[in-house]
Structure 1
Amino acid sequence: MNAGPVLRVEDVDVVRDGNRILENVSLTVRAGEHWALLGANGAGKSTLLGLLGALAHPTRGTVEVLGHRLGRVDMRQLRSHVGHVNPRHDLRSPLKVRDVVLTGLTNTIERVPRWSPAPDQVATADRLIDLLGLGDRHEARWPTLSQGERGRALIARALMPSPELLLLDEPATGLDVAGREQLIERMDTLQHTYRDLASVLVTHHLEELPPGTSHVMLLRDGRCLASGPADEVLTSDQVSKCFDHPIRLTRVDGRWSVRADRPVRAHSG
């Protein structure tokens, strides 16, 4: 295992077409930590996740992924050691769930021609499918899966190469309540099963955060508003500033919920 931080971002800017997407952002993620990047649409969350997944270079500053500095490493090779879950998985073939999960070993969307997994790799895929609550869907084909089942299959796929880092880009997008809760339950199981695995989850809904979320970064307009342990960062005041709206934040049984904090109206009497 990498002895240092899993991720280290220092004083990063990202500028595209003259627009500053991220400004002076720093972040350190260590083994076993589970981070959430929170912010409104356009805050820079997915851009930052792209840096963490070695998909892009910063305009300024340094990014180290698994101990390797971007700009001094083969990006494609580095990406093979990161579990990146993108719900917009562009699979065109009606592959079975097991085959989709096995593509995590080749870091491809489709099955590689003339490549066959070893028996122990198939066993690992089946174990991950079971762990993600898809035990009765090993042979189901991709087009027949619900969106929630696809999301959980993609997490199993991302875990196939035994990564030290798992990146999740809005994994609950488009899910109904049942699908969201099944996803969160399985993510919570993963965090207890893989104690050293670090994860970073992007969302703009606090209700989507698993109970095991340990750290949070609040992003607003490309800048870090607050960063650190979840219980310190997720306050009504700071979340209100992040989303530019008065919000009342509560936490029950490890889960967060928000409501608009409306001023109390005086009663005329």
Structure 2
Amino acid sequence: MPIISLENVQLIRNHKFLLNQIQWQVEQGENWALLGLNGAGKTLLLQIITGNLWPSSGKVTVLGEVFGQTSLPELSKRIGWISSALQVRLRANEFTEQIVLSGKFASIGIYQKYEPEDLMHAKNLLEHLEAASLIGKTYGQLSQGERQIVLIARGLMAEPELLILDEPCTGLDLFARERLLQQIAHLSFLPQAPTILFVTHHTEEILPFISHVCLLRAGEIYAQGLREDLLSTETLQDFYQQAVTIEPYASNRYIVSPIK
């Protein structure tokens, strides 16, 4: 069963194609990076995959459920979507473990009854992400990088089968970014780790645990395939439509720079 299957998906607004002829399949055991410049359509594609936006045409299947033939609210419980946009909705005086726990109910704040083991699970998630030191702190006390870790733990609370990380390194300095990326890599090797879809426009953020890359440009998939095949000078020069260099960055990672 594919994790994600998009067949001829299109999104049209005001007679303009925002997404055009999207053909994409993510299989079990794969972790993907979705790479594209700002305005490429990455967020629109995520909204379709999570059922928050309906395509103009095409077939969408996620976790074996065909859109139009399934309950999207029930499906959403099986998907964790981590976006920086959620940060502004969270309360500064709420404890980190409570924010993580709220992921069980997909709510901002906790209004439902929960069991002691639920709170313990929230704390365990922070420990698994090497962030036990954040337990007992309020959200307002955290750095930007620490907040992202809390959001990831929150997204894992409902034990999703698919975890979408939507540009999680936005706003982080170099050192905070590297700490966060290593924690995400650690997550990918945990028992029963979900399939990870990592969205970025920086090639150096694509870690070795990412097996495949999808290149999105102007609402169309330019190329997709194995990470080592797509992160090449020839492919990325054609993709970006300008001369670039690609150089090693840290362990088995690459950074792309324009040639002036």
TM-score, scaled to structure 2: 0.94
Mapping for residues 143-182 of structure 1, pairs under 5 Å? 143-182=140-179
Stretches of structure 1 lacking an aligned partner (at least 5 in a row): 263-269
Match of 2:48 in 1: 51
Counterpart secondary structure, 1:150: helix
Q: Cα deviation per residue 1:224-266 (whole Å; 9 max; x = unaligned)?
A: 111011111111122122222211113352212122235xxxx
**CA positional deviation for 1:45:** 0.9
Q: Which amino acid aligns with 1:256?
A: Y
- Aligned-pair RMSD on alpha carbons? 1.5
Q: State the partner residue of 1:41.
A: 38
Q: Distance in 2 between matches of 1:209 and 1:235?
A: 13
Deviation at 1:93, TM superposition (A): 5.1
Deviation at 1:179, TM superposition (A): 1.1
Q: Report what 1:231 is aligned to.
A: 228
Alpha-carbon contact 1:250-1:256 (below 8 Å) kept:
yes
Indicate the residue corresponding to 1:221 in structure 2: 218
Give the aligned partner of residue 98 of structure 1.
97
Aligned with residue 32 of structure 1, among 11, 14, 29: 29
CA distance in 2, matches of 1:129, 1:76: 26
> 2: distance between equivalents of 1:93 and 1:175?
19
Separation in 2, partners of 1:196, 1:153: 17
What displacement does 1:94 show? 1.9
Q: 2:58 aligns with which of 54, 58, 61?
A: 61
* 211-220 or 193-202, larger mean C-alpha shift: 193-202
Are the counterparts in 1 of residues 92 and 138 from structure 2 also a CA contact under 8 Å?
no
**CA positional deviation for 1:195:** 5.3
Three-state SS of the structure 2 residue aligned to 1:54 is: coil
Q: 1:238 to 1:5 in 2, by over 3 A?
A: same
Partners of 1:34 and 1:195 in 2: how far apart?
Answer: 13
Identity of aligned residues (%): 33
Partners of 2:113 and 2:208 in 1: CA distance: 38
CA contact (8 A) 2:98 2:119 kept: no
Task: Judge which range, 241-250 or 34-43, deviates more.
Answer: 241-250
CA distance in 2, matches of 1:210, 1:240: 20
Gaps of 5+ in 2: none
User: Partner residue of 1:88?
Assistant: 85
| Distance (whole Å) between structure 2 residues aligned to residue 240 and residue 165 of structure 1 | 31
Query: Counterpart in 1 of 2:115?
Result: 118
Q: List per-residue Cα deviations over 1:87-124 (Å, max 9, x = no partner).
A: 11121452100000001100112222xx2322222221
CA contact (8 A) 1:96 1:142 kept: yes
**Higher alpha-carbon Rg:** 1
Letter in 1 for 2:102: T
Number of matched residues? 257
Deviations 1:30-72, CA, capped at 9 Å, x for gaps: 2221101111111111111111222211111111111111122
The letter of the residue matching 1:22 is L
